Amino acid sequence: MGERKVMIQIPENITELKSYKPGKPLSQVIEELGLTEVAVLWNNENNFGPSPKAMEFVTASLSNSHVYPDPVCTELRNLLAAKWNRKFEQVAVGNGSESIFNNLFNAFFENGDELLTCSGTFVAVYIWAKANNVKVQTVPLSDGFTFDLDALYNAIYDKTKAIYLSNPNNPTGAMIPEQDLKAFIEKVPSNVLIIVDEAYFEFAHDLSTEFPNSASYNYENVLTLRTFSKAYGIAAIRIGYAIGHEKLIEAIMKVKLTFEPSNLAQAAGIGALSDEEYLNKTIENNTTEIKKYYQTFEALNLNYTPSFGNFVMLNFENEETVHFYFEELMKLGVFVRPLKAFGLPHCLRITVGLPRENEMCIEALTEIASR
């Protein structure tokens, strides 16, 4: 008998996904270019490093690494509930807010349900929707690169299960003010879930008195996502949370991995919440340093979008200029993010780093623009 050849059928939505293909390791690029000083400003990370208290709690928890994590995440959820004046049952945690977003598809979506959002927002939204075989309906961003709430409302139809809003929007930095967000929520049908991703909340709250705190809302169809990756500087540990109505949180907790997040991640979150000194330093640095970027961009006649995160987006109008600036900045030791993958090939995003890193970026931009 001949050998039977068996092929496993991969679903079409998975075969159509593009695997992440990282470029050269940063260390290799630095070596090849002969750089002695660099400013890594491409992933919106917190370049102060991790919260010291988060690290203290992680270190203390290492001795319990033989024990499974608390599957209910009792201590961390209680602390978050107290911080945002909500109940324990209104808080869920996971391996970063991105993990919680992925879990939403299992918790709420059925066959034929669709996600509605804008083009030009957090790229993982489209990836996780595709991976879960959920169709994404999009409308363009507004002229100010923020979410066009009127267009989103007009696009709602019977298959719309949820609407995703990134506030402030990554990668553009534009925000939805409190008054506009509440007006939108109140007119959206109550059977449509509104997911408000506030990954940059701590920065935005300090940059504008008009920035909303959707975690304080009591709408039954609003779910707020937050993260410890940005302001608290523990992106590698993977810890995020969601706040919303008890029924929404219960559904999310049912579908998450049983022991998600890990002992170390829960400990890091608990420690980070107590580190007010670190958080205040991070926020103050961002609020101060982002203004230096604006002054430079204006002096160099570079078109930028006012931002409410820890980054700023430049609009060069065409992809060729973006590539030129990206390459020339890299040669000068400054690493930034072209936004083609976000659907904005004519734009470039620059993270707000430490003062010396921002100074390097400003000096490099000035030199390149003067050529």
Cα–Cα distance measured from residue 278 to residue 315, given in angstroms and rounded to the nearest whole number:
32
Q: What is the pLDDT along the chain (371 residues), one digit of tens a residue?
A: 556 777 888 888 888 888 766 667 889 989 999 999 999 999 999 999 999 999 999 999 999 999 999 999 999 999 999 999 999 999 999 999 999 999 999 999 999 999 999 999 999 999 999 999 999 999 999 999 999 999 999 999 999 999 999 999 999 999 999 999 999 999 999 999 999 999 999 999 999 999 999 999 999 999 999 999 999 999 999 999 999 999 999 999 999 999 999 999 999 999 999 999 999 999 999 999 999 999 999 999 999 999 999 999 999 989 999 999 999 999 999 999 999 999 999 999 999 999 999 999 999 999 999 87
Q: Give residues with Cβ within 8 angstroms of 99, minimum separation 6.
A: 238, 240, 256, 260
Intervals of CATH 3.40.640.10 along the chain: 52-275
Query: 22-49+277-369, superfamily in CATH?
Result: Aspartate Aminotransferase, domain 1 (3.90.1150.10)
Cα–Cα distance measured from residue 195 to residue 214, given in angstroms and rounded to the nearest whole number:
10
What the block records as the tokens of 12 is 């079409």
Cα–Cα distance measured from residue 46 to residue 371, given in angstroms and rounded to the nearest whole number:
31
What the block records as the tokens of 160 is 């719309």
Nearest to 330 by CA among 43, 22, 46, 39: 39
Nearest to 242 by CA among 80, 57, 130, 12: 80
Cα–Cα distance measured from residue 347 to residue 344, given in angstroms and rounded to the nearest whole number:
6
Specify the pLDDT at position 166. Answer: 98
Q: Give residues with Cβ within 8 angstroms of 298, minimum separation 6.
A: none
Specify the pLDDT at position 22. Answer: 63
3-state per-residue secondary structure call for 19-80:
CCCCCCCHHHHHHHHCCCCCEECCCCCCCCCCCHHHHHHHHHHHHHCCCCCCCCCHHHHHHH
CATH number of 52-275: 3.40.640.10
Intervals of CATH 3.90.1150.10 along the chain: 22-49+277-369
Specify the pLDDT at position 17. Answer: 82
* Element of type H or E holding 197: strand 193-197
Specify the pLDDT at position 8. Answer: 87
Cα–Cα distance measured from residue 186 to residue 184, given in angstroms and rounded to the nearest whole number:
5
Cα–Cα distance measured from residue 279 to residue 258, given in angstroms and rounded to the nearest whole number:
30
DSSP string, 76-132: HHHHHHHHTT--GGGEEEESHHHHHHHHHHHHH--TT-EEEEESSS-THHHHHHHHT
Q: Beta-carbon neighbour count of residue 88 at 10 Å?
A: 16
Question: CA-based Rg of the chain, rounded to a whole angstrom?
Answer: 21
Residues in a beta bridge with 156: none
What the block records as the tokens of 296 is 């430079």
What the block records as the tokens of 5 is 């050849």
Does residue 261 have a cis peptide bond before it, meaning omega lies within 30 degrees of 0? yes
pTM, to two decimals: 0.94
